[in-house]
Structures are given as C-alpha cells and as structure tokens.
Amino acid sequence: MALEITDANFDEIVLKSDKPVLVDFWAAWCGPCRMVGPIVDEIHTEYDGKAVVGKVDVDNNQEFAAKYGVRNIPTVLIFKNGEVVDKQVGAAPKKAYTDKIDAAL
C-alpha cells in the first residue's frame, strides 16, 4: 500500500524527501481514482527504495490540494527536491506514471 500522506505530514514526506515523490490526490467517491489506486500501490512496491509513493485523500486533506491547484481528481504530481516536476490529471495507464518517475530519478 502506498503511504498515506496528510496535510500534517506532507512537508516531511514530500517536500523534504531526497528521492522523487509521486503523490496521488484522490477521494473515495471518485470512480477513476479507484482505477488508479491499485496502480499507485503497485508502483509503491516496484519503486521501493528509489522513490516515495503516496496518496492524499482530498476530502480529509485540502491544504496541499489547494496549494498545488488540484481541481480534478485523480491528479498525480511528481515532486523532486520539493518542487513539482510533472503531473498527470485523470486516470492513465501505469506506464504514464512510471515514465514520469523514471524521468525524475
């Protein structure tokens, strides 16, 4: 399972990471989010030690979703050195996400 990222731990997990970070902004009621969720969990396992992979439930954690302009979900942001370097809005195939992480490694 991907890490649970909240407003409280976002700085520590995402912005201070020395590895690239994939953050999936999602909600339980979102159909496409339920399609992306298992993909994000797979990526978490495959990139263990190389990248950080986590999810932000936007219903419970709105601060960073608002800060990064997340208006549609699922939105996946790729961070490197605390900065957004790539994004994917809407559901996409696994390769779309892994290509973005690979580019940030």
Is 27 within 8 Å of 83 (Cβ atoms)? no
> Tokens 């996409």 — which residue?
92
Q: Spot the catalytic one: 30, 39, 58, 73.
A: 30
Q: Spot the catalytic one: 2, 13, 33, 78.
A: 33
Q: Known catalytic residue: 30?
A: yes
Q: Known catalytic residue: 33?
A: yes
CA angle 74, 2, 56 (to 5 degrees): 45
The residues that are catalytic are 30, 33
